Amino acid sequence: MCGIAGQIGRNEEIVTGMMPVYEKMQNALRRRGPDQRGITIEGGAALIHTRLAVIDIENGLQPMEIRRGEDRYILTYNGELYNTDELRGELRALGHEFKTRSDTEVLGRAYAEWGAACVPKFNGIFAFAVWDTARRHLFLARDRIGVKPLFYALRSKADSGDTLIFASELKALLCHPEVKPEIDRGGIAELLFIGPGRTPGCGVFKGVEELEPAHCALFTPRNDGRSSFRKWAYWSLTDRDNNDTFEQAAEKTRFLVTDAIERQLVSDVPICTFLSGGLDSSIISSVADRYLTAKGERLQTFTVSYRDNDKHFRAGKFQPNSDDEFVHYMNEHLNAEHHRVTLDTEELADALYEAVLARDLPGMADVDSSLLLFCREIKKHATVALSGECADEIFGGYPWYRDPEVRAREGFPWAQSTRWRKTFLRDEYEIDAEEYIASRYRATVEASHVLPDADAENRRTREMVNLNFKWFMQTLLDRKDRMSMYSGLEVRVPFCDWRIAEYLYTVPWAFKDRNNTEKGLLRAAMGDFLPEPVRNRKKSPYPKTHNPAYLNEVTKRLNAALDDDSPLLQIVKREALDTLLSRTDNTPWYGQLMTAPQTVAYFLQTDYWLREYNVSVVL
């Protein structure tokens, strides 16, 4: 993967003398692309790139220039295309000649041939920008699911006109003098009422937005001050009649899942899989193992654990068992070389700060920091990894899909603590927390596409899929992208193949809940890839520490921060934090992943973020 950034203005004066700024933006993205760097400045456009080389290491340099007749296009691209070979063949038939094996050139030539219409042809994860030198406009696009990020800021000045600044990560945008580290009431509401999630399209910082998944945009700067910025969706989850039997649905699911995994095993560098012993990572590891073994290669698998978790783990409703037993079953089943990474309490707390630097925002506390440390260890052995994110959203694996009472409840099912969250907000901001959440919930539900003759159960489960797709899943994808790319590790997510999402959206809920079992369709479709105990294992979330020493450690650190003139107290009531730190309330902050220890750590991260990014509150 890579990092991209740039600036587009109405004329050369916009970018003249800005090279030190562009180099600073590029340097901010160095962890995303440690192998190669490039900057191209032409006319009123500056395009910036940092590269993590995975395919055609010698020839995929960027920004890349593509010529088609008299037209010239300059491309900066972050991502992977999994249908590169098919697209290359189609483009060759149309007269294109290729100089490299890289998917970068394929994507660039696809844009040169089809313009914006190329994007729906792509199967992959991507965010890219193309500067059309003849027509003087910038085209932006992001993958359907939102695996790869893309932020932007539009600015306007009387003397220089409109300009667009964009980047893969917020930290690169903030290197530009036109983008200030400021938050207003909206940013405060995002931190306290939505965080660690974000409203789709929101960049939290004032005047910063994110291009939403499955969207394109076109920016055309003009000398007359009438610049235009237009964005549009090119894909969405759409309900359709589905008359497949269960057996037909299982067969199609098996093909789509297997094909997605095998497509994503293509790499010129070492590749591996995450393995928790859960259904999703085990399916990916098993398919990958068979595929690589047939090629005479050996898969590497990686598991994360925590020191003394065996002493402190207590089975519960949302985490009925630990991973160790099931990882053992998979190790017996696979031909893979397995690695176990064990994290300790102190390093987990220390990494909370680096996790903020990776995400540029307070995040999922130790759920983030543990992944960051895990990816750092994996990077010592491999450059590309496959992970099981998004199967739960698509196949209905979360508890809130299957509990009729929770499913019927209004509001985001993973964030039912708005009233409690509001107690932290200082009175002077006067933000209606309930309406802030409810309006976003209603808008997402109303935008869910459902056939008019769908029964109540299927209507509601499709709404739930869309809610998870637009919100909860995006938080997890943010986490996976930022924590992995911080160590220059590319993580691919096969269940995010848009073909799987598109087909499964139309499948009846009864198929997904086959035999009253979570992800029943996926188990039936892929069950023979797994040993029986793993095939029948109940869902267990991403593992986190159960050591009480962790809560003690983050409590100590937050208390120290509060006593050190904490900027957190600009937006949060001290008495509410004192109540939290007294451990009298264990209300979940964000689903089953964030309870008391993670909530304390979230506020510790917020304090660090306000300090480190020198964030100002502007009203």
Residue type, 47: L
Alpha-carbon distance 104 to 589, whole Å?
41
Contact (CB, 8 A) for 122 and 143: yes
Q: What one-character DSSP code corresponds to residue 176?
A: S
**What sign for the dihedral angle of Cα 582, 584, 590, 592?**
positive
Count of residues making up the chain: 619
Token pair recorded at residue 245? 């039997």
- ∠ CA 321-324-329, nearest 5°, is 105
Token pair recorded at residue 134? 């003849």
Token pair recorded at residue 100? 């490299």
Token pair recorded at residue 429? 């901001």
Active-site residue (options: 2, 202, 216, 496): 2
390 tagged catalytic? no
DSSP letters, 193-249, are: IITTS--TTB-SSTT-EEPPTTEEEEEE--TTS--EEEEEES-----------HHHH
Q: What one-character DSSP code corresponds to residue 99?
A: S
Q: What are phi and psi of 538, to 5 degrees?
A: -70, 155
**β-pairing, 161-167 with 182-183?**
unpaired
Token pair recorded at residue 510? 């009864």
Token pair recorded at residue 358? 């990776």
| Three-state SS at 97 | coil
Burial zone of 373 (CB within 10 Å; 0-12 exposed, 13-18 middle, 19+ buried): buried
Is the omega angle on the peptide bond into residue 63 within 30 degrees of 0, that is, cis?
A: yes
What is the residue whose two structure tokens read 């800021």? 153
Which residues, other chains included, contact 423 with Cβ-Cβ below 8 Å and sequence gap of 6+?
573, 576
Instruction: Please identify every residue annotated as catalytic.
Output: 2
